């Protein structure tokens, strides 16, 4: 049996195997199979219909040969089997994402990207101004869209931001800044002017929002 070694690269490779849909179970019919690689003492998440968890996994010729427990994995181990102790760590399928936005992700490469960095107001404004300076050929009617802002870090630094902060930038272009989760948006006065429309009918419950909104 080979001595346990670094598992970081092999974890990724084996995790991808889950996506192949190869059949394996605790009661495999072929107990004479000698695995190339074995992972054990882990929390192995299978993503089957029951979300079954196992503690051991065997790989043979690039395919999963066994999913089961510590006792069941023993017959798959021989002298030339690479054995890795997961030490309780989790192993799960790779290439599984039920909430992807590939088109949006590609489009983001063309936008002013804050890259999720935890920046204060001064650094944020410097980055936005840099994006504006890089787009000097744009007209005053062209929007600048800023994405992936760490809004919480910004608020921690300032206590809150308003359109007046963005209005300090050297531009007349409308600016829209989106937080990393796309649930919070920050705009300048030029953007608000373009977005303004007819006011909804007022009622006795209508009230004015604070100036910062």
CATH of the domain at 119: 3.10.310.70
Q: Does residue 126 form part of some domain?
A: yes
Percent of the chain residues past pLDDT 90, beyond the cut: 59
Whether the model clears a pTM of 0.75, i.e. scores above it, the answer is: no
Decide: 56 and 44 in contact? Cβ < 8 Å.
Answer: yes
> Which residues, at least 6 apart from 192, have a Cβ–Cβ distance to it below 8 Å?
163
Q: What is the CATH number of the domain that holds 55?
A: 2.30.40.10
pLDDT digits (tens, 9 = 90+) for 49-72: 888 999 999 999 999 999 999 999
76 in a structural domain: yes
Q: Is residue 4 part of a domain?
A: no
Residue 182, sorted as left (phi over 0), alpha (psi -120 to 50) or beta, turns out to be left
Residues 77 and 111 placed together within one structural domain of the fold: no
Same domain, yes or no: 48 and 130: no
Which domain range does residue 131 map to?
Answer: 102-196
182 falls within a domain: yes
Q: Tell me whether residue 82 is in a domain.
A: yes
Judgement on whether residues 78 and 107 belong to the same structural domain of the protein: no
Convert the pLDDT of each residue in 92-136 to its tens digit: 877 666 677 777 778 888 899 999 999 999 999 999 999 999 998
Overall number of domains in the chain = 2
Rounded (5°) CA angle 29-59-75: 50
Residue with tokens 């062209």: 142
In a domain, 87, yes or no: yes
Does the residue 26 lie in any domain? no
106 and 192 in a single domain? The answer is yes
């Amino acid at each position: 049996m080979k001595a346990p070694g670094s598992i970081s690269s092999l974890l990724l490779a084996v995790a991808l195997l889950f996506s192949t849909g190869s059949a394996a179970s605790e009661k495999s019919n072929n107990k004479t199979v000698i695995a190339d690689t074995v992972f054990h003492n882990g929390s192995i998440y299978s993503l089957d219909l029951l979300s079954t968890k196992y503690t051991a996994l065997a790989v043979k010729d690039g395919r999963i040969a066994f999913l089961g427990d510590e006792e069941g994995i023993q017959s798959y181990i021989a002298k030339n089997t690479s054995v890795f102790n997961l030490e309780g760590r989790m192993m799960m399928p790779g290439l599984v994402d039920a909430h992807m936005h590939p088109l949006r992700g590609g489009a983001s490469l063309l936008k002013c990207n804050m890259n999720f960095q935890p920046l204060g107001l001064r650094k944020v404004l410097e980055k936005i101004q840099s994006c504006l300076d890089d787009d000097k050929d744009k007209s005053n009617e062209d929007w600048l869209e800023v994405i992936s802002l760490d809004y919480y870090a910004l608020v921690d630094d300032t206590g809150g931001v308003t359109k007046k902060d963005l209005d300090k930038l050297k531009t007349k272009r409308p600016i829209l800044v989106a937080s990393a989760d796309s649930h919070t948006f920050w705009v300048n006065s030029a953007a608000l002017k373009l977005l303004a429309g007819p006011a909804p009918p007022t009622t006795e419950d209508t009230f004015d929002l604070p100036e910062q909104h």
